[in-house]
């Protein structure tokens, strides 16, 4: 079952490269647009595979080294496949003092992964963020684009299970 899923994901990924090519065409030779293009590429793939990095480097006329440097500098970009749902627990000061570390510990235990990891079924990726500007709702958590506030560890999985 899981093998089959992986296979599907790869096939889908292959189909996305022509679309990346279109994005790159709009910015051909414009190294200054690198971050913008990487945003779009990550939107397509969910992460930045090596092949995509090479295409961006070639298309924008910057070295692969520079592309890799930018990707690893910014928190937003990832070079490993992400789960279908990205779970981000906020560890900003306001959330921290309201117990977000316990929420994070609970998430790691329940999902069986560490921060930065992805579950085997690729359902969830777990990460931390440093303040998402939802301090009034501390402790806060992001699942994909949705913000959840006042998360209590016992209710964590009720929220996560809503995401397939």
Partner 1 sequence: MNLVRNHVLISIDAGTIMAGARAVEKALVEEINKQGLSGEIAVLETGSIGATGQGVVIVVYPEGIYYANVTPADAAELVEEHLLKGRPVKRLIMTEMPKQHVIKKEKTGLLREQPRIVLRNSGVINPENIDEYIAEGGYEALEKAFTDLKPAGVTKEVKDSGLMGRGGAAFTTAMKWEFAARAPGDVKYIICNADEGEPGTFKDRLILEGDPHKLIEGMILAGYAVGATKGFVYIRGEYALSIERLEKAITQARLYGLLGDDILESGFSFDIAVMKGAGAYVCGEETALIESLEGKRGHPRNKPPYPVTEGLWAKPTVVNNVETLANVPEIVRNGAAWYRGYGTDKCPGTKVYTIIGNVATPGLIEAEMGTTLRDIIYEYAGGIKDGKKFKGALVGGAAGAFMGPEMLDAKMDFVNLKEYAAVLGSGAILVMDEDADIVGMLQSVLHFFRHESCGHCVPCRLGTNQLAEIIDRIAEGKGKTEDVDKLVSISEVMRDTSFCPLGQSPVLPITSSLRFFRDEVYSRVQ
Q: Applying CB under 8 A, which residues contact partner 1?
A: 31-36, 38-39, 62, 66, 69-70, 73-77, 91-94, 96-97, 129-138, 142, 145-150
Q: Which is nearer to partner 1, 3 or 161 (CB)?
A: 161
Q: Which is nearer to partner 1, 38 or 107 (CB)?
A: 38
Distance of CA 67 to the CA centre of its chain: 18
Minimum CB–partner distance for residue 130 and partner 1 (Å)? 5
Q: Which is nearer to partner 1, 12 or 75 (CB)?
A: 75
CB 104 within 8 A of CB 89: yes
Q: Which is nearer to partner 1, 20 or 128 (CB)?
A: 128
Minimum CB–partner distance for residue 143 and partner 1 (Å)? 11
DSSP characters over 132-157? -S-GGG-S-EEETTEEE-S--GGGHH
Phi, psi of 125 (to 5 degrees): -115, 145
Q: Which is nearer to partner 1, 33 or 118 (CB)?
A: 33
Of 40, 46, 44, whose CA–CA distance to 26 is shortest? 40
Of 159, 45, 152, whose CA–CA distance to 111 is shortest? 159
Q: Enter the DSSP assignment of 118.
A: B
Minimum CB–partner distance for residue 66 and partner 1 (Å)? 8
Q: How far apart are CA 157 and CA 13, in angstroms?
A: 30
Minimum CB–partner distance for residue 155 and partner 1 (Å)? 15
Minimum CB–partner distance for residue 105 and partner 1 (Å)? 15
């Amino acid at each position: 079952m899981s093998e089959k899923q992986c296979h599907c994901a790869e096939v889908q990924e292959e189909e996305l490269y022509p679309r990346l090519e279109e994005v790159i065409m709009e910015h051909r030779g414009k190294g200054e647009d690198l971050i913008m293009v990487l945003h779009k590429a990550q939107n397509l793939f969910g992460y930045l595979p090596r092949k995509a990095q090479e295409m961006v480097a070639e298309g924008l006329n910057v070295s692969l080294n520079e592309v890799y440097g930018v990707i690893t500098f910014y928190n937003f970009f990832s070079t490993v496949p992400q789960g279908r749902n990205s779970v981000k627990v906020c560890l900003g000061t306001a959330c921290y003092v309201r117990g977000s570390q316990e929420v994070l510990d609970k998430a790691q235990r329940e999902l069986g992964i560490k921060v930065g990891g992805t579950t085997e079924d690729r359902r969830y990726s777990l990460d931390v963020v440093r303040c998402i500007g939802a301090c009034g709702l501390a402790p806060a958590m992001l699942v994909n684009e949705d913000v959840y506030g006042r998360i209590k560890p016992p209710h964590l999985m009720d929220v996560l299970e809503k995401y397939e």
